Protein backbone atom coordinates (compact mmCIF):
# COMPACT_ATOMS: atom_id res chain seq x y z
CA UNK A 1 0.00 0.00 0.00
CA UNK A 2 1.23 3.50 -0.81
CA UNK A 3 2.39 5.55 2.16
CA UNK A 4 -0.32 8.23 2.55
CA UNK A 5 2.07 10.62 4.27
CA UNK A 6 4.28 10.69 1.18
CA UNK A 7 3.87 13.75 -1.09
CA UNK A 8 2.87 12.66 -4.60
CA UNK A 9 5.33 13.78 -7.28
CA UNK A 10 2.87 16.20 -8.88
CA UNK A 11 2.22 18.18 -5.70
CA UNK A 12 4.40 20.75 -3.89
CA UNK A 13 5.50 19.41 -0.49
CA UNK A 14 5.15 20.87 2.94
CA UNK A 15 1.64 22.24 3.45
CA UNK A 16 -0.61 20.94 6.20
CA UNK A 17 -3.86 22.98 6.37
CA UNK A 18 -4.29 24.39 9.90
CA UNK A 19 -7.57 23.84 11.79
CA UNK A 20 -8.72 27.40 10.97
CA UNK A 21 -7.66 29.29 7.86
CA UNK A 22 -6.38 32.82 8.47
CA UNK A 23 -5.44 35.57 6.04
CA UNK A 24 -1.96 36.37 7.27
CA UNK A 25 0.07 36.58 4.07
CA UNK A 26 -0.24 37.56 0.44
CA UNK A 27 -1.10 34.55 -1.71
CA UNK A 28 1.43 35.41 -4.44
CA UNK A 29 0.75 35.23 -8.16
CA UNK A 30 -0.89 37.74 -10.45
CA UNK A 31 -3.86 39.57 -8.88
CA UNK A 32 -2.60 38.77 -5.34
CA UNK A 33 -2.86 42.49 -4.54
CA UNK A 34 -6.63 42.60 -5.18
CA UNK A 35 -7.64 39.30 -3.60
CA UNK A 36 -9.24 39.58 -0.16
CA UNK A 37 -11.39 37.22 1.91
CA UNK A 38 -13.94 39.98 2.61
CA UNK A 39 -16.38 42.01 0.50
CA UNK A 40 -17.36 45.68 0.69
CA UNK A 41 -15.70 48.96 -0.30
CA UNK A 42 -12.07 49.83 0.43
CA UNK A 43 -12.39 53.55 -0.34
CA UNK A 44 -14.93 56.33 -0.92
CA UNK A 45 -15.39 57.36 -4.53
CA UNK A 46 -18.44 58.08 -6.66
CA UNK A 47 -18.71 56.70 -10.18
CA UNK A 48 -18.77 59.08 -13.15
CA UNK A 49 -22.04 59.41 -15.10
CA UNK A 50 -22.23 60.30 -18.79
CA UNK A 51 -25.09 61.51 -20.95
CA UNK A 52 -26.36 58.25 -22.44
CA UNK A 53 -29.24 56.09 -21.13
CA UNK A 54 -26.88 53.25 -20.31
CA UNK A 55 -23.78 53.53 -18.15
CA UNK A 56 -21.34 50.62 -18.26
CA UNK A 57 -18.41 50.22 -15.85
CA UNK A 58 -16.11 47.54 -17.16
CA UNK A 59 -12.85 46.22 -18.61
CA UNK A 60 -12.36 44.23 -21.84
CA UNK A 61 -11.83 40.84 -20.21
CA UNK A 62 -14.01 38.04 -21.64
CA UNK A 63 -16.74 38.86 -19.09
CA UNK A 64 -16.62 42.55 -19.99
CA UNK A 65 -16.66 41.89 -23.74
CA UNK A 66 -20.01 40.08 -23.46
CA UNK A 67 -21.70 43.36 -22.45
CA UNK A 68 -20.00 45.61 -25.01
CA UNK A 69 -20.65 43.17 -27.87
CA UNK A 70 -24.35 43.08 -26.91
CA UNK A 71 -24.59 46.89 -26.77
CA UNK A 72 -22.82 47.25 -30.13
CA UNK A 73 -25.08 44.57 -31.67
CA UNK A 74 -28.18 46.42 -30.41
CA UNK A 75 -26.92 49.71 -31.81
CA UNK A 76 -26.17 47.99 -35.14
CA UNK A 77 -29.83 46.89 -35.23
CA UNK A 78 -30.87 50.52 -34.80
CA UNK A 79 -31.81 50.51 -31.09
CA UNK A 80 -30.75 54.04 -30.17
CA UNK A 81 -31.85 53.44 -26.58
CA UNK A 82 -28.80 51.21 -26.24
CA UNK A 83 -26.44 54.20 -26.54
CA UNK A 84 -23.95 53.92 -23.75
CA UNK A 85 -21.01 55.40 -21.92
CA UNK A 86 -18.38 52.77 -21.12
CA UNK A 87 -16.15 53.77 -18.21
CA UNK A 88 -12.89 51.98 -17.51
CA UNK A 89 -12.64 49.96 -14.30
CA UNK A 90 -9.03 49.02 -13.69
CA UNK A 91 -9.40 45.88 -11.57
CA UNK A 92 -5.62 45.67 -11.02
CA UNK A 93 -5.83 49.05 -9.26
CA UNK A 94 -8.86 48.04 -7.17
CA UNK A 95 -11.41 50.37 -8.86
CA UNK A 96 -14.06 47.69 -8.29
CA UNK A 97 -13.83 48.28 -4.54
CA UNK A 98 -14.87 51.95 -4.55
CA UNK A 99 -18.00 52.85 -2.57
CA UNK A 100 -19.77 53.90 -5.79
CA UNK A 101 -18.97 50.62 -7.50
CA UNK A 102 -19.97 48.40 -4.58
CA UNK A 103 -23.30 50.23 -4.42
CA UNK A 104 -24.17 48.97 -7.90
CA UNK A 105 -22.34 45.65 -7.68
CA UNK A 106 -21.91 44.25 -4.15
CA UNK A 107 -19.80 41.47 -5.72
CA UNK A 108 -17.10 43.93 -6.95
CA UNK A 109 -16.58 42.27 -10.34
CA UNK A 110 -16.81 43.73 -13.82
CA UNK A 111 -19.01 44.24 -15.79
CA UNK A 112 -21.78 46.26 -14.18
CA UNK A 113 -24.36 48.48 -15.85
CA UNK A 114 -26.88 51.12 -14.81
CA UNK A 115 -29.93 51.80 -16.98
CA UNK A 116 -30.72 55.44 -16.28
CA UNK A 117 -33.65 55.45 -18.70
CA UNK A 118 -35.62 53.17 -16.32
CA UNK A 119 -38.17 54.92 -14.03
CA UNK A 120 -35.57 54.60 -11.25
CA UNK A 121 -31.91 54.00 -12.25
CA UNK A 122 -31.66 50.21 -12.52
CA UNK A 123 -28.41 48.47 -11.58
CA UNK A 124 -27.60 45.23 -13.42
CA UNK A 125 -24.67 43.08 -12.32
CA UNK A 126 -23.45 39.64 -13.49
CA UNK A 127 -22.74 39.49 -17.22
CA UNK A 128 -25.57 37.03 -17.98
CA UNK A 129 -28.04 39.25 -16.13
CA UNK A 130 -26.86 42.18 -18.30
CA UNK A 131 -27.37 40.12 -21.48
CA UNK A 132 -30.86 38.98 -20.46
CA UNK A 133 -31.87 42.48 -19.29
CA UNK A 134 -30.83 44.08 -22.58
CA UNK A 135 -32.31 41.26 -24.68
CA UNK A 136 -35.67 41.65 -22.92
CA UNK A 137 -35.62 45.45 -22.94
CA UNK A 138 -34.96 45.64 -26.68
CA UNK A 139 -36.60 42.38 -27.79
CA UNK A 140 -33.47 41.12 -29.55
CA UNK A 141 -31.07 38.15 -29.53
CA UNK A 142 -33.36 36.09 -27.24
CA UNK A 143 -36.03 34.02 -29.01
CA UNK A 144 -39.60 34.47 -27.77
CA UNK A 145 -40.68 30.94 -28.57
CA UNK A 146 -40.27 28.63 -25.54
CA UNK A 147 -38.15 25.89 -27.13
CA UNK A 148 -35.55 28.21 -28.68
CA UNK A 149 -35.62 30.50 -25.62
CA UNK A 150 -34.94 27.53 -23.34
CA UNK A 151 -32.10 26.34 -25.55
CA UNK A 152 -30.61 29.87 -25.37
CA UNK A 153 -30.85 29.81 -21.57
CA UNK A 154 -29.40 26.27 -21.45
CA UNK A 155 -26.21 27.50 -23.10
CA UNK A 156 -26.14 30.86 -21.35
CA UNK A 157 -26.22 29.17 -17.94
CA UNK A 158 -23.80 26.52 -19.18
CA UNK A 159 -21.33 29.31 -19.85
CA UNK A 160 -21.81 30.94 -16.46
CA UNK A 161 -21.25 27.62 -14.68
CA UNK A 162 -18.40 26.41 -16.89
CA UNK A 163 -16.14 29.42 -17.46
CA UNK A 164 -14.89 29.64 -13.85
CA UNK A 165 -13.15 26.28 -14.49
CA UNK A 166 -11.54 27.84 -17.54
CA UNK A 167 -10.51 31.20 -16.06
CA UNK A 168 -10.33 30.65 -12.30
CA UNK A 169 -9.16 27.05 -12.69
CA UNK A 170 -7.08 26.43 -15.81
CA UNK A 171 -6.05 30.04 -16.53
CA UNK A 172 -5.11 30.68 -12.92
CA UNK A 173 -2.94 27.61 -12.42
CA UNK A 174 -1.44 27.55 -15.95
CA UNK A 175 -0.67 31.25 -16.33
CA UNK A 176 -0.99 33.20 -13.07
CA UNK A 177 -0.15 31.04 -10.03
CA UNK A 178 3.30 31.68 -8.49
CA UNK A 179 4.25 28.00 -9.05
CA UNK A 180 3.30 25.33 -11.59
CA UNK A 181 1.36 22.58 -9.81
CA UNK A 182 0.97 19.56 -12.05
CA UNK A 183 -2.06 18.21 -10.17
CA UNK A 184 -3.98 21.49 -10.53
CA UNK A 185 -3.00 22.05 -14.17
CA UNK A 186 -3.94 18.46 -15.07
CA UNK A 187 -7.30 18.73 -13.36
CA UNK A 188 -8.32 21.94 -15.11
CA UNK A 189 -6.71 21.16 -18.49
CA UNK A 190 -8.80 17.99 -18.55
CA UNK A 191 -12.00 19.88 -17.69
CA UNK A 192 -11.38 22.67 -20.23
CA UNK A 193 -10.69 20.14 -22.98
CA UNK A 194 -13.89 18.34 -22.04
CA UNK A 195 -15.83 21.62 -22.20
CA UNK A 196 -14.35 22.47 -25.61
CA UNK A 197 -15.36 19.02 -26.81
CA UNK A 198 -18.93 19.65 -25.57
CA UNK A 199 -19.03 22.79 -27.71
CA UNK A 200 -17.31 21.20 -30.69
CA UNK A 201 -19.76 18.31 -30.85
CA UNK A 202 -22.74 20.68 -30.52
CA UNK A 203 -21.46 23.08 -33.17
CA UNK A 204 -20.85 20.20 -35.60
CA UNK A 205 -24.55 20.32 -36.42
CA UNK A 206 -25.72 23.71 -35.14
CA UNK A 207 -24.75 26.97 -36.78
CA UNK A 208 -25.04 28.89 -33.50
CA UNK A 209 -25.33 27.75 -29.90
CA UNK A 210 -29.14 27.91 -29.75
CA UNK A 211 -29.70 26.76 -33.34
CA UNK A 212 -30.09 28.77 -36.52
CA UNK A 213 -30.02 32.20 -34.87
CA UNK A 214 -27.24 34.18 -33.22
CA UNK A 215 -28.29 34.85 -29.61
CA UNK A 216 -27.02 36.04 -26.23
CA UNK A 217 -25.76 32.47 -25.68
CA UNK A 218 -23.20 33.01 -28.46
CA UNK A 219 -22.29 36.40 -27.02
CA UNK A 220 -21.66 34.82 -23.60
CA UNK A 221 -19.66 31.83 -24.83
CA UNK A 222 -17.60 33.43 -27.60
CA UNK A 223 -15.29 35.68 -25.52
CA UNK A 224 -14.17 32.70 -23.37
CA UNK A 225 -14.32 29.64 -25.59
CA UNK A 226 -13.84 31.43 -28.92
CA UNK A 227 -10.82 33.05 -27.25
CA UNK A 228 -9.49 29.64 -26.18
CA UNK A 229 -10.11 28.13 -29.63
CA UNK A 230 -8.21 30.95 -31.33
CA UNK A 231 -5.32 30.81 -28.83
CA UNK A 232 -5.99 34.31 -27.47
CA UNK A 233 -6.27 33.31 -23.80
CA UNK A 234 -3.41 32.22 -21.52
CA UNK A 235 -1.06 31.42 -24.43
CA UNK A 236 -2.29 27.82 -24.19
CA UNK A 237 -3.16 27.00 -27.82
CA UNK A 238 -0.40 24.45 -28.27
CA UNK A 239 -0.70 23.03 -24.75
CA UNK A 240 -4.41 22.27 -25.21
CA UNK A 241 -4.15 21.55 -28.97
CA UNK A 242 -7.10 23.85 -29.62
CA UNK A 243 -6.86 23.70 -33.43
CA UNK A 244 -8.36 20.19 -33.24
CA UNK A 245 -11.78 21.57 -32.28
CA UNK A 246 -12.70 22.35 -35.87
CA UNK A 247 -16.40 23.15 -35.40
CA UNK A 248 -15.66 25.39 -32.44
CA UNK A 249 -13.05 27.16 -34.57
CA UNK A 250 -15.53 27.59 -37.46
CA UNK A 251 -18.06 29.19 -35.12
CA UNK A 252 -15.42 31.36 -33.42
CA UNK A 253 -14.26 32.70 -36.80
CA UNK A 254 -17.82 33.34 -37.95
CA UNK A 255 -18.62 35.42 -34.88
CA UNK A 256 -15.30 37.29 -34.99
CA UNK A 257 -16.27 38.59 -38.44
CA UNK A 258 -19.30 40.51 -37.12
CA UNK A 259 -18.57 44.27 -37.13
CA UNK A 260 -20.35 44.75 -33.78
CA UNK A 261 -18.16 42.06 -32.23
CA UNK A 262 -15.06 43.75 -33.60
CA UNK A 263 -16.16 47.03 -32.03
CA UNK A 264 -17.33 45.47 -28.76
CA UNK A 265 -14.01 43.77 -28.08
CA UNK A 266 -12.15 47.12 -28.35
CA UNK A 267 -14.17 48.91 -25.68
CA UNK A 268 -12.46 49.29 -22.26
CA UNK A 269 -9.41 47.52 -23.67
CA UNK A 270 -6.07 48.71 -22.32
CA UNK A 271 -3.67 46.11 -23.74
CA UNK A 272 -2.74 44.79 -27.18
CA UNK A 273 -2.13 46.80 -30.36
CA UNK A 274 -2.85 50.53 -29.80
CA UNK A 275 -5.43 50.60 -32.64
CA UNK A 276 -7.44 47.88 -30.84
CA UNK A 277 -7.68 49.82 -27.59
CA UNK A 278 -10.59 52.13 -26.81
CA UNK A 279 -10.20 52.66 -23.05
CA UNK A 280 -13.51 54.56 -22.76
CA UNK A 281 -16.39 54.85 -25.18
CA UNK A 282 -18.83 57.75 -25.07
CA UNK A 283 -19.80 58.05 -28.73
CA UNK A 284 -19.98 55.81 -31.81
CA UNK A 285 -17.36 58.06 -33.44
CA UNK A 286 -14.86 57.19 -30.68
CA UNK A 287 -13.93 54.02 -32.62
CA UNK A 288 -12.54 56.28 -35.36
CA UNK A 289 -11.04 59.04 -33.25
CA UNK A 290 -10.19 57.85 -29.73
CA UNK A 291 -8.33 54.54 -30.04
CA UNK A 292 -4.92 54.58 -28.34
CA UNK A 293 -3.00 54.98 -31.61
CA UNK A 294 -4.92 58.24 -32.22
CA UNK A 295 -4.48 59.50 -28.67
CA UNK A 296 -0.74 58.86 -28.39
CA UNK A 297 1.70 61.70 -29.07
CA UNK A 298 2.94 61.42 -32.69
CA UNK A 299 6.54 60.41 -31.68
CA UNK A 300 5.24 57.46 -29.56
CA UNK A 301 2.90 56.30 -32.34
CA UNK A 302 5.80 56.25 -34.81
CA UNK A 303 7.95 53.97 -32.61
Please write down the HEC assignment for all residues of the chain: CCCCCCCCCCCCCCCCCCCCCCCCCCCCCCCCCCCCCCCCCCECCCCCCCCCCEEEEECCCHHHHHHHHHHHHHHHCCCHHHCEEEEECCHHHCHHHEHHHHHHCCCCCCCEEEECCCCCCEEEECHHHHHHHHHHHHCCCCCCCHHHHHHHHHHHHHHHHHHHHHHHHHHHHHHHCCCCCHHHHHHHHHHHHHHHHHHHHHHHCCCECCECCCCHHHHHHHHHHHHHHCCCCCCCHHHHCHHHCHHHHHHHHHHHCCHHHHHHCCECCCCCCHHHCECCECCCCHHHHCCHHHHCCHHHHHC
Among the listed residues 84, 95, 109, 269, the single contact to ligand GSH using CB under 6 A: 109
Footprint of ligand GSH on residues 125-144 (CB under 6 A)? Answer: 126-127
Nearer of residues 37 and 300 to ligand GSH, judged by Cβ: 37
Distance of alpha carbon 218 from alpha carbon 213, whole angstroms: 9
Residue 108 near ligand GSH by CB under 6 A: yes
Q: 196 or 233, CB closer to ligand GSH?
A: 233
What CA–CA distances, in Å, run from 213 to 219, 220, 227, 281?
12, 14, 21, 28
Query: Is the CB of 34 or the CB of 295 nearer to ligand GSH?
Result: 34
CB of 84 to ligand GSH, least distance (A): 17
Of the ranges 108-116, 143-151, 180-188, 246-254, which one interacts with ligand GSH (CB under 6 A)?
108-116
| 162 near ligand GSH, rule: CB under 6 A | no
Q: Does residue number 91 form part of the binding site for ligand GSH (CB under 6 A)?
A: yes
Stretch that binds ligand GSH, among 46-54, 75-83, 107-115, 247-255 (CB under 6 A): 107-115
Q: How far is the CB of 228 from ligand GSH (least distance, A)?
A: 14
Closer to ligand GSH by CB, 143 or 223: give it.
Answer: 223
CB 177 to ligand GSH: min, Å: 15
- Compute the least distance from the CB of residue 270 to ligand GSH, in Å: 13
Interaction between residue 165 and ligand GSH (CB under 6 A): no
Question: Judged by CB under 6 A, does residue 105 bind ligand GSH?
Answer: no
* Count of Cβ atoms closer than 10 Å to residue 40 Cβ: 10
Strands 54-58, 84-88: parallel, antiparallel or unpaired by DSSP? parallel
Nearer to ligand GSH, 34 or 189 (CB): 34
- How many chain residues touch ligand GSH (CB under 6 A)? 10
Q: Is the dihedral of CA 240, 164, 262, 253 positive or negative?
A: positive
Cβ count near 29 (within 10 Å): 14
Nearer Cβ to ligand GSH (90/243): 90
110 binds ligand GSH (CB under 6 A): yes
Q: How far is the CB of 127 from ligand GSH (least distance, A)?
A: 4
* Closest approach of ligand GSH to the CB of residue 35, in Å: 7
Binder of ligand GSH out of 96, 98, 162, 291 (CB under 6 A): 96
Looking at residues 33 to 52 of the shown chain, list those that interact with ligand GSH (rule: CB under 6 A): 34
Q: What is the contact surface with ligand GSH in residues (CB under 6 A)?
A: 34, 61, 63, 91, 96, 108-110, 126-127
Amino acid sequence: MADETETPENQPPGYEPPAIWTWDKASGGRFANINRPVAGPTHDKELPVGEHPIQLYSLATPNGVKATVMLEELLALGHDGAEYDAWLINIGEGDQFSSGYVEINPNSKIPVMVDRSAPEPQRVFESASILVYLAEKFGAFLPGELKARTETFNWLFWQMGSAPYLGGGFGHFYAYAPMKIEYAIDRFAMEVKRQMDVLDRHLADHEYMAGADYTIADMAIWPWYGGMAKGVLYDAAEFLQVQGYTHLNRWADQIAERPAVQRGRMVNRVWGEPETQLPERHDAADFETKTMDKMMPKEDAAE
